[in-house]
Amino acid sequence: MRSNSTRTWSLIFFSSVAVIFVLFSFGLILAQTPPASPATQTQPPQVLTPAPPPPTTPPRPLVMIDPAHGGAESGAVLNPTLLEKDVTLGLARRLRQDLTSRGVLVELVRDADVSLSTDDRAAKANAQRPILYLCLHASSETGAVRIFSALQPEATDNHGLFVSWNSAQSASLAMSRAAGQQLAAVLQKSGLAARSLTAALRPLNNITAPALAIEVGPAAAEISKLASADYQQTISAALANSVVALIPTLQSDAGVSR
């Protein structure tokens, strides 16, 4: 009797181990399966969150705006009374207003003077699945707008269920670079000097959507302009027009039907 009971428990134990092993192996195989076609490589990874339910109405494109720095991390000290974190927040609020008035859904990564790590910023942006992520910076170098995409290789081993945090941008990198060039071209047409470049700048590498960092700044002698409402409004309106012009390209790339 006792021997039968022991045998039964042994059988249950080994069966459980076998089931766990089979499930684990299946998970591993699934995780290492490469994407089915090259077309899927250019889309944002579908693995971090479940796919959203089919929309009943055409979705409004969401643009995430991230005013860089904040809280104890002030960014560049542009002059004794002007900190980069304040300029980026002011500009982000104006840009939100300008984009919203043009029918674009906008969310700010921070809407107050708070500290956020670059990982927190990326996690917050990725969770919203935006069509475009814009990180705003300000500096005192040369009177131009500089648009940066991530400095990382386009091809990585991001296959299977999960993507590497440090190269999460790789799937969207080609689109980010194209968007940066288009944005610079539109800004130039509106009379602003603009350049499209690459930079090793967090959290661009960690964003799963097309992601750009925009650095604005007049020449050093005119740095106080950054705090003026007129200058910010000029930059914000030009950026809003450029982003609106960019949205159809982003939507077609993301496969969103309007």
Partner 1 sequence: VITRQFVIVTAILFGLTIAMSVYVSQLRRRELTAPRVHSTAKVEHVAPPSSGSTEQVTLFVAYDDPGVLRAQSVSASLASGRQQRAEGLLRALIGVYTAKNSPHPLAVGSDVRDVFLADPGIAVIDLNSALVDSQVSGVLSEELTITSMIQTLATNISGLTRVKFLVDGKQRDTLAGHADLSEFYDVSQINDQVKELSQ
- 129 touches partner 1 (CB under 8 A): no
CA distance 4 to 106: 67
177 is an interface residue for partner 1 by CB under 8 A: no
Q: Any contact of residue 86 with partner 1 (CB under 8 A)?
A: no
Closest CB to partner 1 among 172 and 247?
A: 172
One-letter amino acid for residue 39 of the chain? A
Residue 77 CB, shortest distance to partner 1, in Å, is: 7
145-150 vs 105-108, strand pairing mode = unpaired
Spatial distance between the Cα atoms of 218 and 231, rounded to a whole number of angstroms: 9
Q: What is the dihedral of CA 247, 249, 253, 254, to 10 degrees?
A: 10
Position 75 contacts partner 1 (CB under 8 A): yes
Residue 217 interacts with partner 1 (CB under 8 A)? Answer: yes
| The binder of partner 1 chosen from 64, 65, 66, 84 (CB under 8 A) | 84
Judged by CB under 8 A, the residue of 137, 173, 207, 236 near partner 1 is 137
Q: Does 166 sit near partner 1 (CB under 8 A)?
A: yes
CB 91 within 8 A of CB 110: no
152 lies in the binding site for partner 1 (CB under 8 A): yes
8 touches partner 1 by CB under 8 A: no
Strands, E assignment, 96-184: 105-108, 132-138, 145-150
Distance CA 71, CA 170 (A): 30
By CB under 8 A, name the one of 207, 213, 238, 240 that touches partner 1: 213
What is the pattern of x (binds partner 1, CB under 8 A) and - over residues 33-72? ------------------------------------x---
Which backbone phi and psi does 40 adopt, to 5 degrees?
-70, -20
Contacts of 53 (CB under 8 A, 6+ apart): none
Residue 141 interacting with partner 1 (CB under 8 A) = yes
Q: Are 79 and 224 in contact (CB under 8 A)?
A: yes
Q: Taking CB under 8 A as the rule, does residue 89 contact partner 1?
A: no
Non-local CB neighbours of 163 within 8 Å, separated by 6+ positions: 45, 47, 48, 171, 208
**Residue 111 or residue 119: which is nearer to partner 1 going by CB?**
119
Q: Residues in the site for partner 1, rule: CB under 8 A?
A: 69, 73, 75-77, 84, 137, 139-142, 144, 146, 148, 151-153, 166, 195, 197-202, 205, 213, 215, 217, 219
